[in-house]
Structure 1
């Protein structure tokens, strides 16, 4: 099992966790769930492309990995970044983001095993963007989760 498999499984799981959270897209249409991306948003390729087209989204990022010794699994740090578009002048977008964040936390706290392969460690952290009038009409939040990822055993040429 690899970190890339973890990323793919996590993207699928996050999509399922937030599939019925309703927000509006940049065209004002009510939508459910998010589009998931790996590592970052796609590049805009034409001048007329609108970055708002990607909202609402979740970016599933692999941050880093470490292992203590031959017998321990990898500990892989991941970030789930949520972004939504909410043009409501009452600044309610953070509530939708917080709902996505909370659902993700609650899910991996209650059921830490991801796809019967990866175990979420309970040192989960989250954050919402600071209040910034320059980001209106966008709201952002993130969840950081570390997972145990099995690794290949070391080969012993002398055994």
Structure 2
């Protein structure tokens, strides 16, 4: 197992968890679900394009990893970043971000195993943006996963 395997599995799991959420894209149209990306949003290549075309989205970033001893698995830090668009000033998009965060954190606090390979650490944190960026809203979850690693061998033959 590799951190990239974890990243792919985590994206698939979050897309499934959020598949029934009705949100808006940047054009104000209804969409269901949230598209996940690895590490960053895709680059825009046309001068007419901008990154608002990706709303709603989430990004799974692999931040760091460590393995303190020979017998312990990798402990891989991930950050899940969310971006949504909400033009309705009554609903205030931070509530939607909190709903997304709650769905994901509850899933891993209740059932920490992902794809029968990766186990979520119970020390999870989240944050919301602190600036007004209406109609765009952002939030994040930091969660670490135990990722199996290859054992050491002293046999060089």
Q: Report the TM-score range of the alignment, normalised by the length of the smaller protein.
A: over 0.9
Q: Cα deviation per residue 1:40-74 (whole Å; 9 max; x = unaligned)?
A: 01111111003211000010110000011111000
Q: Cα deviation per residue 1:99-141 (whole Å; 9 max; x = unaligned)?
A: 00010000000110000000001000001111x23x2210001
Which residue of the partner structure matches residue 65 of structure 1?
A: 65
Which residue of the partner structure matches residue 106 of structure 1?
A: 106
Q: Structure 2 length as normaliser, TM-score?
A: 0.96
The CA distance in 2 between the partners of 1:157 and 1:107, in whole Å, is 41
The reply to whether residue 7 of structure 1 matches residue 11 of structure 2 is: no
Q: Structure 1 length as normaliser, TM-score?
A: 0.94
Which residue of the partner structure matches residue 82 of structure 2?
A: 82
Q: How many residues align?
A: 157
For the aligned residue pairs, the C-alpha RMSD in angstroms reads: 1.3
Q: Which runs of 5+ in 1 are unaligned?
A: none
Deviation (angstroms), 1:18: 1.0
Q: Matched residue of 1:37: which SS?
A: strand
Q: Matched residue of 1:44: which SS?
A: coil
Q: Matched residue of 2:154: which SS?
A: coil
Q: Which runs of 5+ in 2 are unaligned?
A: none
